[in-house]
Amino acid sequence: MKIKTADIVISAVSQKQYPEGMMPEVAMVGRSNVGKSSTINTILNRKKLARISSSPGKTRTINFYIINNEFHLVDLPGYGYAKVSRDERAAWGKFIETYLTSRKNLVEVLLLVDIRHEPNNDDVLMYNWIKQYGFGTIVVATKSDKIPRSQLQKHINLIRGTLKMDAEDKVIPISSLKKQGIENLWGALEELFIA
Ligand code: GDP
């Protein structure tokens, strides 16, 4: 896919602010610090469109980006930041749930995990949650430059096994730093829109 235009539509703090209309939408979610902002900036080829978080876990907005005037890429707030309170965690859950249940135009949710680590309990819960809402779930394994190429498949298998992924679900390794795997991710997104 060629990116002709990429812009932020809105940083929504509530449902009222979600963009109207039926433009297809793909959302991204993952643990704080997984590299979500870097991934968005890399795939959109814009250095500073998404903010690289300086205070992880503090973002409570859903950021809607519009790509080529064709679809929305949606940045959901990260989870799993150790220092948030139980109340804040519950508020996060409600915030995400409102989004997932209200968007008729939501086509797919991408779950981001760090390729180096076994997905933790929060990741497993998130994966199952997304599935439960009926989304296919593409897993994006970030920071692939941090492991040797020879270890890649082993790490992918660990992610697949821990999340108990269905055979048809994709794991796409990417590196924002080295700009690797970006074409594969675009390919998977294109398939969604064409299918
Ligand atoms: P977010 O909290 O999920 O939005 O994560 P950020 O995009 O802010 O990235 C968290 C940290 O991981 C930052 O220090 C980034 O520089 C680093 N990072 C992100 N992507 C990559 C990558 O592909 N490779 C490497 N080596 N580091 C990365």
Atom of ligand 1 nearest to the CA of 52: 8
Domain residue spans of the chain = 6-194
> d(Cα 170, Cα 188) in Å, to the nearest integer?
8
67 neighbors 8 (Cβ within 8 angstroms): no
Range in 17-26, 45-54, 73-82, 178-187 the model is least confident about: 45-54
Residue 58 has pLDDT above 80, yes or no: no
Q: Is 170 touching ligand 1 by the criterion CB < 6 Å? A: no
**ipTM value:** 0.98
- Ligand 1 atom having least distance to the Cα of 32: 2
pLDDT score of 124 more than 70: yes
Nearest C-alpha neighbor of 138 from the set 162, 114, 109, 160 = 109
Phi and psi angles of residue 138, each rounded to the nearest 5 degrees, phi first = -100, 130
86, pLDDT greater than 90 = no
pTM, full prediction: 0.93
Å from CA of 76 to ligand 1 middle: 16
User: According to the model, what pLDDT value does residue 52 have?
Assistant: 55
Sign of CA dihedral 171, 11, 59, 177: positive
* Ligand 1 atom nearest to 53, measured from its CA: 8
104 alpha carbon to ligand 1 midpoint, in Å? 31
Q: Which among 125, 161, 164, 123 is positioned nearest to 142, based on CA atoms?
A: 123
* Fold exhibited by the domain 6-194: Rossmann fold (3.40.50)
Report, as an integer, the average pLDDT of 20-28. 95
Which pLDDT belongs to residue 179? 94
Say yes or no: CB of residue 142 within 6 Å of ligand 1: yes
- Find the mean pLDDT for residues 67-83: 89
Mean residue pLDDT of the chain comes to 90
- Residue 152: per-residue pLDDT: 97
Residue 57 has pLDDT above 60, yes or no: no
Q: Give me the amino acid identity at 38.
A: S
Q: Which residue has the higher pLDDT, 152 or 54?
A: 152
Ligand 1, atom 25, residue with closest C-alpha: 143
Least confidently predicted of 52-56, 92-96, 162-166? 52-56
Instruction: Round to whole Å and give the CA distance between 75 and 36.
Output: 8
| The residue type at 120 | N
